[in-house]
Amino acid sequence: MWESVINWIESNLFSCFFVKHLGVECPGCGFQRSFVALMRGDLGESFQLYPALLPTLFLFLFLILHLIFKFRHGANVLKYTFIVNAAIIMTSYIIKQVHLHL
Amino acid sequence: MEEQNQDNQNVWAGPGAGGQQGQGQQHSGAQNPPPQQPQQPQQQYPMQQPLPNGTAVLVLGILSIVTCILYGIIGIILGIIALSLASKDQKLYEANPQMYTPSSFNNLKAGKICGIIGLILSVLMILYVVFILLFAFSAASPDIWDL
């Protein structure tokens, strides 16, 4: 059952406009493949495909929890998670592009 | 109010003389209104309320990290909405800081910073797209700049 859900998701991934029209990967490319790898339980492959997946999921999950439970330092946690997350996304994207094209 | 009543009762009970009781009543009648007047502004805000857009700014600011969708246009739209709402609410808060809850102001500040970062990344994203397009065009037809 779980495997069939994963297979269905894997065969119905959204294709990236960026790659289709510009021929270059965007900073969000790999997110869905990484998510599928995470659902299979393969943390290493998930991290390799998109290092910012877990921080991003944590960010959105914590945002929802913060809106419901109103943690005392929730806003600061979200702010720093966001900054770290943006840094990871940009760094990994630059490293990926340098490896691919240079 | 209760403390004031007790004070007044003490004033009445203390002297015990009839003439002074009358003075005490006059005294209480004269003194009761002034303490009530400063209380009226406080009664207008019995409880601190959250800023009207604190939560919205936080959510929009965090969502603005989707910099790459539609070449960064969505990130720019979300970031600009978050920043404009944040500046509006910040003026509200500065005009009357006691009226709003500190937690909603923290949400506002965090959302503003996230919005600024998301907006900068989205603008960089659009510049990057323009750069790629220029690069692609100039690679496809090298004479395009010679005019």
3-state secondary structure of B100: strand
Average predicted confidence (pLDDT) for chain A: 91
**So what's the pLDDT on residue A102?**
77
- Secondary element (H or E) of residue B83: helix B73-95
Task: List pLDDT tens digits, range A77-89.
Answer: 999 999 999 999 9
Residue in the structure block whose two tokens are 């943690």? A71
Best mutation target, B106, B109, B126, to test chain A (most A CBs within 10 A)? B106
Q: In chain B, whose CA is at the least distance from the CA of A69? A: B103
Chain centroid to CA B53: how far?
7
* pTM (2 d.p.): 0.74
Instruction: Please count the other Cβ atoms lying within 10 Å of the Cβ belonging to residue B75.
Output: 27
Chain centroid to CA B128: how far?
34
Does the interface predicted TM-score (ipTM) exceed 0.90? no
**Which residues have C-beta within 8 Å of that of residue B85, sequence separation ≥ 6?**
B53, B56, B57, B60
Asked if the Cβ–Cβ distance from B117 to A75 is below 8 Å, we say no
CA end-to-end span of chain A: 43
- From chain A, pick out residues whose CB is under 8 angstroms from the CB of B54: none
Task: List pLDDT tens digits, range A63-72.
Answer: 999 999 989 8
Task: List pLDDT tens digits, range B102-123.
Answer: 889 999 999 999 999 999 999 9
Query: B5 versus A27: which is more confidently predicted?
Result: A27
**So what's the pLDDT on residue B71?**
81
**So what's the pLDDT on residue B145?**
61
In the predicted model, residues of chain B with pLDDT beneath 70 are 1-46, 142-147
Do the beta carbons of residue A96 and residue A25 sit within 8 Å? yes
**So what's the pLDDT on residue A83?**
94
Asked if the Cβ–Cβ distance from A78 to B69 is below 8 Å, we say no
Q: What percent of chain A has pLDDT over 70?
A: 100
